[in-house]
Amino acid sequence: MTDLLDAVRPLVACDRVTAIVDGDVRRITGELRVHGDGPYLPDHFPGLTIFPGVFVLEAVVQAAAAAFGEPDGRRLRLTAVRSLRFLVPLRPGDLLRVLAEATAVSPPHPVRLRADCRRGDGVRVATATVECGWSG
């Protein structure tokens, strides 16, 4: 079985992705452990290390891309951010869990994702509604 994350390498924003298809709905879970040794963390922000919000967004998109795979050689790419709200920062050692829901569609139809991003202890860190299109 091919690793779902192969589609998004070399930059991987999720350690693990699972997807469940239930009728027309695809439920996606992505997880990432925030490591303090990442080259982007020490300077974001100096004296108060937090996981950059753009990486939370990237985790949402990559979880979906991994869950949908590459039908007909096409890859899912972010095309629009309809809503994005950051509520609580993530720090080194935290677990980011992305819980997203999308209508199970195939190219060329766009994919609309609603994501609830939570810390490992269940605290909501962000919410997002994004649209993705197919490239390739």
Residue positions annotated with a catalytic role:
44
CA distance linking residue 82 with residue 11, whole number of Å = 24
Phi, psi of 97 (to 5 degrees): -120, 120
CB contact set of 82 (below 8 Å; sequence gap of 6+): 112, 129, 130, 131
CA distance linking residue 41 with residue 35, whole number of Å = 9
CB atoms within 10 A of CB 72: 9
Which residue stretches of 3-128 are H helix? Answer: 53-68
CA distance linking residue 122 with residue 11, whole number of Å = 26
